[in-house]
Structure 1
């Protein structure tokens, strides 16, 4: 039971942080449009994104909501039923679930996602905290899979 409560609290904390930052972006950043964070490196720029990464599937809200919901249900299943003995996998799934739900809330309530981090030193999409959570979580999950395969291969050799 403590495992489930801990996971739920972690996911809720990520969702809360994401929604709080987005509320700040709407109230403070939207009126000014943009402001420097680290001059010539990163700025905070208010953008509404109707699609997913790089505005792909823009305008396909119902599809994005259904696909995201289905993917998040699978992630939740893995988190609560398959990651009990692997803390790195647990962290990865918490990040994916928290970030995914954060963006899903925007998409369901507003039909678009609030983005606000703009990298200036290269051409890249404007993104948000939830996107960072999902990307870091997926990268960690890939690492977990790689390490498990490496462990299985070394176990077979012995």
Structure 2
């Protein structure tokens, strides 16, 4: 569980620090656009009032906060009970830390601050996201592919004929 907690805290802090630097210190909120490595990496100011990609715009901010907290607690309880392997614990930590970082945004601003934008190869991507979204996505993918109970995996490996 320490690994989960460590990665949850790291994901949370990295997201919040990146938002603070890019949006407030570099004043992206005011200038709206910074081309970093165009078109592959751009900073574009965004206020996400929905779920991902602006879906669910208009849903109560409190519903989204409660939903994120409930999902985070569910993942935490599941990780504790299932005795997950190291990769799964890291994945769970990333998911929880990212979700709680976006919860903090909703509590402070009423929406999630987004600033990352990527386009490539003639495709002009209109969407923006943040590092918390990256952590949530990476954590979910990690849990899908590696989210196996460590004890069950050991027993299954022991039963395989050699």
TM-score, length basis structure 1: 0.83
Q: Does 1:74 align with 2:74?
A: yes
Once the two structures are superposed, the pairs formed by residues 96-111 of structure 1 within 5 Å of their partners are: 96-111=95-110
Q: What is the match of residue 13 of structure 2?
A: 16
Q: Name stretches of at least 5 consecutive residues in structure 2 with no aligned partner.
A: none
In structure 2, relative to structure 1, the CA distance for the partners of 1:87 and 1:124 (3 Å cut) is: farther
TM-score (norm 2): 0.82
The question of whether the paired residues in 1 share the 8 Å contact of 2:6 and 2:93 is answered with no
Identify the structure with the greater helix proportion.
1
User: Within 5 Å, which residues of 2 pair with 1:1-158?
Assistant: 3-4=1-2, 6-27=3-24, 28=26, 29-60=28-59, 61-84=61-84, 86-121=85-120, 122=123, 123=125, 125-145=127-147, 158=161
Alignment length (residue pairs):
154
Structure 1 stretches (4+) deviating beyond 4 angstroms? 145-158
Structure scoring higher RCO (CA < 8 A, sep ≥ 6) equals: 2
Range that drifts further, 141-150 or 46-55: 141-150
RMSD (Å), alpha carbons: 2.6
